[in-house]
Structure 1
Amino acid sequence: MAPQEYTVSVNTPMPKGYAFLKKGIKYKTLHCRRLTHEAGKPVYVVENNKKLIGIRIPKSIYFHVQSLANETLPARRLATEQRDAALVRTAAAELDSQFPNIPKEDRKKILNHGFRKNSGRVGRTNQMPMSRKVLYAVVAHIRHKHTNYDQMLNDGTTREDARKKIHKKLQSILREWGATQRKP
């Protein structure tokens, strides 16, 4: 039997025996959804103005998953920290490979800023290889910390023009740091 999911409005009355789980915690959402499907019960996807705000699932499943989430939280946090540390180690090795002459302070700032969890930065994307993530993080760092790029933007220069104006300085620093690849 195919999983049953229905989209409802926030104003739709709560089905008897159901609870609301707000959007935002993947672990809870995935487990509540899976267990509700396995129980053969419908999941109600709640939207407000066409934006997903959460799901409605049976209360028994809601409380079970809440309990599981609390029990497993320390282990899940540790696993996340280990994955994040591995990502930064991989990025550090790639950074050292591509830019062997990078100053220690710049290296530290790039790793802390460009690969910070939940930052939305290029280093956190899964859409490109690590070599490109590192290169883009370095280019962004140079642009923002070693040129007057931000001041140009604040003064009304377009992004494209500001990038053209700092291009030579950016390339010079990349060469100085021993870039093994060309600027993207």
Structure 2
Amino acid sequence: MSGTKRQKDMRKALRALLPRVPMADAEPILEKALAAHLRHLPPSIAIWQATTSYIRHVHTDYDQLLDDDYDRDSARFFVVDDMNDVLLGWGSSRQLELEEEPGS
């Protein structure tokens, strides 16, 4: 496997967090986690933030709720169960708790 040490560490953190994530979802999550604004974070935290943001926007109705004039906190409240379902399906032992949810 090629790449920088950080890229390798990110791939390892992704596999540890989400052992059953489909490749079609793993690649965009990895790309988000490698973004410059997350560079200061340890790989496990950057992967978690990238994962939750990705799931929220790609696998839930979050953006539609915002379009329907729900505020950010309300929209997040309504999608947290759907997000946790995705996490469970991907083999994550970690669940999302609304108060810990990172910004997107």
State the TM bucket, normalised to the shorter chain. Answer: 0.7 to 0.9
Q: Which runs of 4+ in 1 moved over 3 A?
A: none
Which segments of 5 or more consecutive residues in structure 1 lack a partner in the other structure?
A: 1-83
Aligned equivalents of 2:32 and 2:68: distance in 1? 25
Task: Sort the Cα spacing of 1:114 and 1:133 in 2 relative to 1 into closer, same or farther, 3 A.
Answer: closer
Aligned equivalents of 1:172 and 1:114: distance in 2? 21
Aligned to 1:159: 72
Which segments of 5 or more consecutive residues in structure 2 lack a partner in the other structure?
A: none
Question: TM (normalized to structure 2)?
Answer: 0.81
Contact 2:62 2:79 in 1 (8 A): yes
Higher relative contact order (CA 8 A, sep 6+): 2
Aligned to 1:113: 32
Question: TM (normalized to structure 1)?
Answer: 0.48
Contact 2:18 2:90 in 1 (8 A): yes
Superposition deviation, residue 104 in structure 1: 0.6
Aligned equivalents of 1:114 and 1:129: distance in 2? 10
Task: Sort the Cα spacing of 1:138 and 1:102 in 2 relative to 1 into closer, same or farther, 3 A.
Answer: same
**Alignment root-mean-square deviation, CA:** 1.9
Pair 1:180 & 2:93 matched: yes
Structure 1 residues 19-168: aligned runs within 5 Å: 85-116=4-35, 118=36, 120=37, 124-126=38-40, 128-168=41-81
Q: Report the structure number with the largest CA radius of gyration.
A: 1
Aligned to 1:15: none
Structure with bigger helix share is: 2
Aligned equivalents of 1:144 and 1:114: distance in 2? 15
